[in-house]
Amino acid sequence: MGMFDSFLIDIDGHEVEVQTKRFDQVLARYRVGDVVSGAAPGVQVLTDQLALDAAGQQVYGERDGASWWTVFIVLGHGLFACYEAHAGRLSVAARLARIRALAAAWEDSARLLGRMAQSVGEKQAQLERLGAWLGYVRATVADARRLRAGEQLQAPFGLERDATVRLKSGEDPLAVLEDLLLAEPADAMGLGFAGPFRLAERDPLAPYRL
């Protein structure tokens, strides 16, 4: 089968991996907002047809009970801008018509720039969460070393982190760190959080108001 890349999309409530050999074929997995390595300049609309079983897993060939979907992937100057999943196997004419419509819509530079700005903002929020999470892990390592040295740990403002409580109770530091590294960065851990990015809403009548 060889190497490939994948687009991760949602179909009927299931995450589906749509594979392609069109790009760099390095087993990269792309979500909306990611830059696709090896994509050509300009707007590209790609399509495929997939069969899914009741659990949302891809099946190959004609299978009883499988549902068919026609998928469209839109790239704008390398950015995975959006996708669509239509129930059923659309005809060649219908697929070509939808490809033309999506390409025309995303040739709008303002729309594409807005999506790019949104993507950058979402990545900023993700980096904020990851940075705070790594800071939490580093602080846990520092607490483990201080406890090993016999120091007393004083929680600032009387707020003690869950990981520190576990360390003070005698849990293996490696087990505590493993749990942290396996966990997703989350607000429940008391981490800093950059809220969801969105462009300011524009009043369409603003240029015309007295």
Mean pLDDT along residues 42-63: 87
Q: What is the dihedral sign for C-alpha 89, 95, 97, 100?
A: positive
Averaging pLDDT over each range in 5-9, 65-69, 173-177, which range is the top one? 5-9
Angstrom distance (rounded) from CA 147 to CA 142: 9
pLDDT at position 181: 79
Mean pLDDT along residues 60-88: 90
**Are 73 and 7 in contact, with CB atoms under 8 Å apart?**
yes
7-21, 55-69, 129-143: the lowest-pLDDT one: 55-69
pLDDT at position 184: 66
Distance of CA 18 to the CA centre of its chain: 15
- Count of CB atoms situated within 10 Å of the CB of 186: 11
The answer on pLDDT for 73 being more than 90 is yes
pLDDT at position 188: 42
pLDDT at position 199: 60
pLDDT at position 210: 64
Largest CA distance in the chain: 74
**Are 67 and 52 in contact, with CB atoms under 8 Å apart?**
yes
pLDDT at position 43: 94
pLDDT at position 105: 93
For the chain, strand residue ranges (E) read 5-11, 14-20, 29-30, 43-52, 58-59, 67-76, 79-87
| Token pair for 86 | 């239509």
Strands 14-20 and 5-11: antiparallel
7-21, 33-47, 66-80, 155-169: the lowest-pLDDT one: 155-169
Q: What is the dihedral sign for C-alpha 146, 150, 154, 155?
A: positive
pLDDT at position 127: 85
Residues 114-134 have pLDDT tens digits of 888 888 888 888 888 888 888
3-state SS track over 148-187? HCCCCCCCHHHCCCHHHHHHHCCCCHHHHHHHHHHCCCCH
What are residue 58's DSSP bridge partners? 52
Q: Across the chain, what does the average pLDDT equal?
A: 85
Cα 91 to Cα 74, 87, 95, 148, 163, distances in angstroms: 19, 12, 6, 68, 56
Judged by DSSP in three states, 93 sits in: helix
Mean pLDDT along residues 10-35: 92
Q: Answer with the residue of higher pLDDT: 18 or 184.
A: 18
User: In which band, very low, low, confident or very high, does the pLDDT at 202 lie, cut at 50, 70 and 90?
Assistant: low
Mean pLDDT along residues 86-102: 95
Mean pLDDT along residues 13-20: 92
